[in-house]
Amino acid sequence: MRENQLRSLWRAGHAATCCWLTIPSAFTAELMAHAGFDSLTIDLQHGLIGYETAVSMLQAISTTPVTPLARVPWNEPGIIMKLLDAGAAGIICPMINSRQEAEAFVAACRYPPAGQRSYGPRRAMLYAGADYPEHANAYVLAIAMIETASALAQIDEILDVPGLDAIYVGPADLSLALGVAQRVDQDDPIMVAALDRILQAARRRGIPAGLHTGSAAFAAQMFARGWQLATVQTDAAFLEFGAQTALSQLRGSAAVQRSGPY
């Protein structure tokens, strides 16, 4: 049975890096899998990625030891189970608002008697090993997103759901929910307080907490505060950053000091 490295890092008390994959391409997934992140999340919610492309991206990540996660579009058992069967080592589920929603999510990630996952881990057995069925419930990470006012209000009830492995904050959604100007890497006191409340509630239970960030600098700060997973931007943002860096240098060149195509 393959080790779930993200789980091992957390068990050892480490923080782990992640990047969202939003580009529907097994080639970019393979490039990112060689970049050096501990884990990668195939984003089927806000990324432009459907199920079959996600499978091809799981295959591409499987050429390396990086831990492959998937974010599902919604708390819907069909797609959660399909992605686990395809070899995702964990699921990040958006918009968990209550204990009941968290229970349903965890149940979709676990075989009976712990849950209601249906049996048929076709590619998961190729990827993780022939003994995957026996170890799956302990291997798969169920990670609930905390990003609504309702979730913030019920953070303790959600964290108490048995089998929940970690939580993850989407700061853009949480900002909108709290009436704060939407942006990542927030220093707004309301957001700072909310993030801190979430982190402490998780740490009291020994549950790792992660969040999306827009910069390595902010991620490093969050690690220092005790967050154990930080996603640094997305593949698309890296692509844009690379292009903008080059173009801004070029525009300093005399030869291209004319108006561009826009």
C-beta of 77 vs 160, nearer to a copy of itself: 77
At residue 247, the 3 state secondary structure works out as helix
Least distance between a copy of itself and beta carbon 238 (Å): 3
CB of 131 to a copy of itself, least distance (A): 12
Nearest CA to 5 among 48, 40, 45, 51? Answer: 40
Mind telling me the catalytic residues?
A: 46
Is the preceding omega at residue 113 within 30 degrees of 0, hence cis? yes
CA-closest candidate to residue 85, choices 46, 128, 42:
128
Query: Phi first, then psi: what are they for 145, rounded to 5°?
Result: -85, 135
Name which of 4, 59, 72, 67 is nearest 30 in CA terms.
59
Q: How far is the CB of 261 from a copy of itself (least distance, A)?
A: 5
The letter for the amino acid at 260 is G
Q: Could you tell me the two tokens for 235?
A: 């593949």
Nearer to a copy of itself, 129 or 160 (CB): 129
Closest distance of CB 157 from a copy of itself, Å: 19
For residues 54 and 257, is the Cβ–Cβ distance under 8 A? no
Judged by beta carbon, residue 86 or residue 211, the one nearer a copy of itself is: 86
Q: Distance between CA 181 and CA 172 in Å, rounded?
A: 9
For the CB of residue 188, give the shortest distance to a copy of itself in the complex, in Å: 15
Give CB contacts under 8 A, 24+ apart, made by 75-80: 75/101, 75/104, 75/105, 75/108, 77/104, 77/107, 77/108, 77/116, 79/44, 79/51, 80/105, 80/108, 80/109
In the complex, minimum distance from the CB of residue 142 to a copy of itself, in angstroms, rounded to a whole number = 18
Give 52: exposed, middle or buried? Use CB within 10 Å, 0-12, 13-18, 19+: exposed
- Strand (E) positions, 123-170? 141-146, 166-169
